[in-house]
Amino acid sequence: MQPSSLRSGRAGPAGGVCAGRRSSGRVSGGELFDFLAQKESLSEEEATSFIKQILDGVNYLHAKKIAHFDLKPENIMLLDKNIPIPHIKLIDFGLAHEIEDGVEFKNIFGTPEFVAPEIVNYEPLGLEADMWSIGVITYILLSGASPFLGDTKQETLANITAVSYDFDEEFFSQTSELAKDFIRKLLVKETRKRLTIQEALRHPWITSKGEDRAPEQRKTEPTQLKTKRLREYTLKCHSSMPPNNTYVNFERFAHVVEDVAWVDQGCHALAGAHDTIQDDVEALVSIFNEKEAWYREENESARHDLSQLRYEFRKVESLKKLLREDIQTTASGLGSVARKLDHLQVQFEALRQELSADLQWIQELVGSCQPESGSTDGLGSVFCWDTSEPLAEPSDRSGSKEVLAGLKL
351, 305: one domain: yes
307, 187: one domain: no
Domain containing 363: what range? Answer: 271-408
Which pLDDT does position 296 carry in this prediction? Answer: 86
229, 281: one domain: no
Q: CA 53, CA 57: separation in Å to the nearest integer? A: 6
Q: Which of 285, 233, 275, 271 is nearest to 114 (CA)?
A: 233
**Beta carbons of 42 and 224 less than 8 angstroms apart:** yes
Q: Per residue of the chain (409 residues), what is the pLDDT tens digit?
A: 333 233 333 333 333 344 443 343 455 667 887 777 777 667 888 889 999 999 999 999 999 999 999 999 899 998 877 777 788 899 989 999 999 999 999 998 888 999 999 999 999 999 999 999 999 999 999 988 899 999 999 999 999 999 999 999 888 988 999 999 999 999 999 999 999 999 999 999 999 865 445 444 444 444 355 566 666 666 666 555 444 443 344 445 555 666 777 888 888 888 888 888 988 898 889 898 888 888 888 888 888 989 999 999 999 999 999 999 999 998 888 988 989 999 999 999 999 999 999 899 999 888 887 655 455 454 444 444 444 444 444 444 444 445 444 444 4
Last residue within a domain, chosen from 193, 225, 244: 244
Q: Kindly state whether residue 263 falls inside one of the protein's structural domains.
A: no
User: How many domains is the chain built from?
Assistant: 2
Q: Cα-flanking dihedrals φ and ψ of residue 185, to 5°?
A: -80, -10
Q: Kindly state whether residue 157 falls inside one of the protein's structural domains.
A: yes
65, 165: one domain: yes
91, 231: one domain: yes
Q: Which of 240, 13, 11, 39 is nearest to 141 (CA)?
A: 39
Q: Kindly state whether residue 52 falls inside one of the protein's structural domains.
A: yes
353, 205: one domain: no
Which pLDDT does position 59 carry in this prediction? Answer: 97
Pairing of strands 88-90, 41-42: unpaired
239, 152: one domain: yes
236, 282: one domain: no
10, 157: one domain: yes
Would you name the residues annotated as active-site residues?
70
3-class DSSP string for the chain: CCCHHHHCCCECCCCCCEECCCCCCCCCCEEHHHHHHCCCEECHHHHHHHHHHHHHHHHHHHHCCEECCCCCHHHEEECCCCCCCCCEEECCCCCCEECCCCCCCCCCCCCHHHCCHHHHCCCCCCCHHHHHHHHHHHHHHHHCCCCCCCCCHHHHHHHHHHCCCCCCHHHHCCCCHHHHHHHHHHCCCCHHHCCCHHHHHCCHHHHCCHHHCCHHHHHHCCCCEECHHHHHHHHHHHHHCCCCCCCHHHHHHHHHHHHHHHHHHHHHHHHHHHHHHHHHHHHHHHHHHHHHHHHHHHHHHHHHHHHHHHHHHHHHHHHHHHHHHHHHHHHHHHHHHHHHHHHHHHHHHHHHHHHHHHHHHHHHHHHHHHHHHCCHHHHHHHHHHHHHHHHHHHHHHHCHHHHHHHHHC
Q: What is the CATH number of the domain that holds 152?
A: 1.10.510.10
Q: CA 77, CA 134: separation in Å to the nearest integer? A: 15
188, 306: one domain: no
